Structures are given as C-alpha cells and as structure tokens.
C-alpha cells in the first residue's frame, strides 16, 4: 500500500491540497456564480454545499454579506484554509452580463440564453454547445392566488389579458372579489423573462404598469397569499402559502403544476433551469459544479430544493376519452417515463437536454432489465395541413430517438406516431409547436 502524500504546489495561481481535490486559489473566491434569483436563492447554494462535501471540506456554512440576494458558501480544508464560493442572485440577465465583464465564472439562468447574449459572448466560445448549456433542473411557473379565491383554472390567453391590465376585475373571469391586483417579478428576473415569453409577448402584450414588482420570489408569494384580490406568477418552490391554479394552453387540457407534468415539460408553464459554462473556462470549480449538478447526488439536491429533478422514473397514466384508442391501450398496459425528448429549433436533432437525458434513459432501461422489446417510443408533432404528413413526421422523430437507443443495445418493442393529436401547447406560436414536437418513452 502506497502512502498518499499531501502536497501543496502552485499552478497558475491555484493551490492544490491533494491529488484528488480541486485546486484552491491563494486569494479570493474559488468560484463566482451570478444570475437567476430562482436558482441563486436556494438551489445554487445547496448544489455548492454538495460539491464542497464531495470535496471533503469541513465546517461548510453560508455567510450573508450586506448586499441583498448575495451569499458566500464557505468550507475549510483539513489544513484550515477557507474555500469561498460566491453566489449573486440578481436575475438571469445579470449572469450573462457578468460573464461578459469577467466578474463571474458561471451564469445561472432560468431561461435560455438570448441570441443577442450569445453574440455578445461569442469570444468565450459557443454557449449553446452541449458542454456549455447545462440543464440542471425543471421548474414550473405557478400562477398563484390568495387561498380564499375560488377560481380553479385559467388559460394562457386569459393570463395575458389579466397581466396586461385588460381584464380588471375577478367578476370578468366568473369569480368574485372586485379589482384584480397584479404581482410580478422584476425586469432582471428569468422568471419574468419566461412569463413574458410564454404568456405576454406571444400575444403582443406587455405587463401592466400597475403590477407590483419584486426581486425576491418569497416576498412576492407572501404578498399574494396575504391579498384576497392578488394574482402573481412564481417558480414552483415558492408557492408557499398561496394557491396554484390549473393552466391550459391552446387546445391542451388544463394542468396543475404537478411534478410529473413538469418533468415531462407538458405543463404549459414549465421551464428549464440552466448553468452556462463558457467552453474556454479556466476555472475547474465551474466544470466540477456543472458535473455535480447532473449527477444523481446533484439531482437529489434539486428535488430536495423543491424543483423537479431529471431523475428518470416510471409513472402510470390513467386512460381517458380524450386520448386516441391506441394511446389508451398503451396507458393500460405500460408505464410512461418522466422524460420527453425534444428537438433543436428547426432541426431533427435532439436538443441539449435530450442529449443529457439519453444517458439517463439508457441507465434506467438497463438497470430495470428493459433492453429486450420492453420499450415503446411514441412521437407527437405540431399541426399540419395534411394529417398524414403530421403522422409521418411524428414517427420520424421517434425513429431518431430509436437510433440512439439501438446503438446502445436496446431492442424496441414498437415505434408509433400520433401526429398532432394530444397537443400540450398552442400550435399558433413557434414555442408551442416546438413543445408539441416530442417523443415519449413507455416501458412494459
């Protein structure tokens, strides 16, 4: 047995405390994270704590500086050296700005990077590459009311008119309570960006100037739950004492923000949470945190933080009369996995999340002995003038996933296409059509 020799040496300004450990800077933080409040308030710090524990650091704790929505997560080596990771949570846009001015090593975002940001950051490498764009969790935007409000469901068209200030009273929605009071996140928030994209901009509307704005998710939720006339939108973990309502989009069924519907991204206001890691990053802690977030341990922290993890599970689906007969039959005899494969915009190629999910689905199939004719793939698409074309395209999408699974030794039971049936989003917008182009995985 060889002795493990602990050594301390200088390497590009970093100190390494052991052969297995990540290097520690002589001065300043080991990692600087900026961006989404949705991630930075709790999930980001919790993932950092998990990484520090994995690294064997001691006395891990959080310190709160004077600046609101900022934290330091601190650990200590066996030799007593402090390791500091800084998390600033002022909104997704600030994360990309911080990457540009080199004041952050990793951007946390509760929305996809915008084309303008991608262009501004091209000197750092391709931030849309699979290694750079890391989906760490799925979140659902909940539409919240005061618990005493009797309203049970809304559609996205109604939501747009409410938050634009066009629908002014609860009575116009069939409820009661008089004037509607609007609550919204601030302009820097990825939560606001997502709501604006999914609900307002799609219908050419803007947020009413009467809305009360909040940087803090917790404060917004508590304000709505204290106001009988209030309505707001919030990330799933921040519903707190408020009441969430079911949401429909286009011809979709009204859905509550349930974990299973958010995991598959069927719920109309589901969204992805991201880490963006510059491909040319010289910070080993940034890559280590992104890797840890994708691990089973990291995804367990995602779930414990109130978000929806990407851990693949099987779920039973109750058949109903709105399903085509072939789908009803499938639901009676098989279980659906909590993942949908989706595709890059304007492409038949799997998107970055789908590439990550392939490994998770393969792991599930192999661990549960489903490699021999126990897996059925079901493709869906958006509405076409020719239903036969929609059917064909939906099956071709399923075949694209089949190719990847077959490469890894999975023998399919069946591949089916249901065309434009069972939409989960409106087909009148690009975002909805992209969401409807999906492949489900069923196991027997």
pLDDT tens, position by position, 255-302: 999 889 999 999 999 989 999 999 988 899 999 999 999 999 999 999
Per DSSP, the three-state class of 207 is: coil
- Residues 6 or more apart from 342 whose CB is under 8 A from it? 265, 350, 351, 353, 354, 434, 435, 437, 438, 439
User: Hey, how many other C-beta atoms are within 10 angstroms of the C-beta on 64?
Assistant: 10
Which residues are CB-contacts of 3 (< 8 A; sequence separation ≥ 6)?
none
Homologous superfamily, domain 9-135+273-304: Periplasmic binding protein-like II (3.40.190.10)
Percent of the chain scoring above 90 in pLDDT: 78
Residues 316 and 26: their CA atoms lie apart, in Å, by 53
Among 414, 351, 404, smallest CA distance to 130 is for 351
Q: In this structure, are residues 428 and 412 in contact, taking their beta carbons and an 8 Å threshold?
A: no
Going from N- to C-terminal start, the domains of the chain cover 9-135+273-304, 139-263, 312-443
Taking residues 397-425, report their average pLDDT: 94
Write the DSSP symbol of residue 79.
T
388 has pLDDT over 50: yes
101-124 confidence digits (pLDDT tens): 999 999 999 999 999 999 999 999
CATH number for the domain running over 139-263: 3.40.190.10
> What is the separation of C-alpha 387 from the centre of its chain, rounded to a whole number of angstroms?
32
Please enumerate in sequence order all residues whose Cβ is within 8 A of that of 369, keeping only pairs 6 or more positions apart, or say none. none
Count of other CB atoms within 10 angstroms of residue 43: 27
> pLDDT for 415-434, tens place per residue?
999 999 999 988 777 777 88
Q: If 0-12 CB within 10 Å is exposed, 13-18 middle and 19+ buried, where does residue 75 land?
A: buried
pLDDT at 347 (0 to 100)? 67
In this structure, whether the domain defined by 312-443 belongs to CATH 3.40.50.300 is answered with no
Could you tell me the pLDDT band of residue 9, with boundaries at 50, 70 and 90?
A: very low
Please tell me the pTM assigned to this model.
0.82
Q: What is the pLDDT of residues 129-146, one digit of tens each?
A: 999 999 999 998 999 999
Burial profile 347-359: b = 16 or more Cβ within 10 angstroms, e = fewer: eeebbbbbebbbe
- Other CB atoms within a 10 A radius of the CB of residue 193 amount to 23
Domains 139-263 and 312-443 share a fold: no
Give the count of alpha carbons within 13 A of 158, CB side only.
Answer: 18
Contact 161, 167 (CB under 8 A): yes
Name beta bridge partners: 25: 14
More confidently predicted of 188 and 146: 146
Residue 392: count of CB within 10 angstroms of its CB:
16
Residue 250 has pLDDT above 60, yes or no: yes
Tokens representing 87 are: 């998390």
pLDDT above 60: residue 11: no
Residue 15's pLDDT is 44
Q: For residue 170, give Cα distances in angstroms to 53, 68, 167, 176, 231.
A: 50, 35, 8, 5, 10
């Amino acid at each position: 047995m060889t002795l493990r020799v602990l050594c301390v040496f200088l390497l590009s300004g970093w100190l390494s405390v052991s052969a297995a450990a990540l290097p520690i800077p002589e001065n300043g933080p080991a990692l600087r994270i900026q961006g989404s409040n949705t991630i930075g308030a709790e999930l980001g710090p919790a993932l950092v704590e998990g990484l520090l524990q994995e690294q064997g650091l001691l006395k891990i704790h959080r310190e709160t500086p004077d600046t609101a929505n900022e934290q330091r997560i601190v650990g200590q080596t066996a030799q007593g050296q402090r390791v500091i990771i800084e998390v600033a949570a002022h909104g997704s846009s600030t994360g990309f700005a911080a990457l540009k001015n080199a004041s952050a090593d990793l951007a946390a975002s509760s929305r996809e990077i915008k084309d303008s940001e991608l262009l501004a950051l091209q000197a750092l490498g391709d931030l849309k590459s699979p290694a750079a764009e890391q989906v760490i969790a799925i979140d659902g935007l909940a539409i919240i009311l005061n618990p005493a409000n009797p309203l049970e469901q809304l559609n996205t068209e109604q939501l747009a008119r409410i938050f634009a200030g066009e629908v002014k009273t609860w009575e116009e929605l069939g409820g009661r309570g008089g004037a509607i009071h609007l609550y919204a996140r601030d302009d820097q928030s990825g939560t606001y960006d997502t709501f604006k994209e999914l609900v307002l901009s799609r219908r050419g509307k803007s947020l009413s100037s009467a809305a009360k704005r909040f940087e803090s998710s917790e404060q917004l939720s508590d304000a709505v739950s204290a106001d009988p006339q209030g309505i707001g939108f919030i990330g799933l973990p921040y519903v707190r004492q408020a009441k969430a309502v079911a949401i429909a989009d286009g011809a979709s069924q009204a859905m509550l923000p349930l974990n299973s519907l958010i995991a598959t991204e069927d719920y109309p206001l589901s969204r992805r949470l991201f880490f963006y890691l510059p491909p040319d990053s010289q910070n080993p802690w940034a890559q280590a945190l992104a890797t840890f977030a994708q691990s089973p341990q990291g995804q367990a922290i995602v779930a414990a933080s109130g978000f929806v993890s990407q851990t693949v599970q099987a779920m039973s689906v109750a058949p109903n009369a709105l399903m085509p007969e072939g789908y009803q039959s499938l639901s009676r005899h098989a279980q659906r996995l909590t993942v949908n494969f989706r595709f890059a915009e304007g492409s038949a190629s799997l998107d970055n999340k789908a590439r990550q999910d392939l490994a998770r689905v393969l792991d599930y199939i192999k661990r549960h002995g489903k490699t021999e004719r126990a897996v059925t793939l079901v493709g869906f698409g958006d509405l076409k003038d020719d239903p036969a074309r929609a059917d064909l395209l939906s099956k071709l999408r399923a075949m694209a996933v089949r190719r990847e699974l077959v490469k890894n030794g999975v023998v399919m039971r069946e591949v089916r296409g249901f065309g434009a049936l069972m939409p989960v989003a409106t087909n009148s917008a690009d975002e909805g059509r992209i969401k409807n182009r999906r492949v489900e995985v069923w196991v027997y």
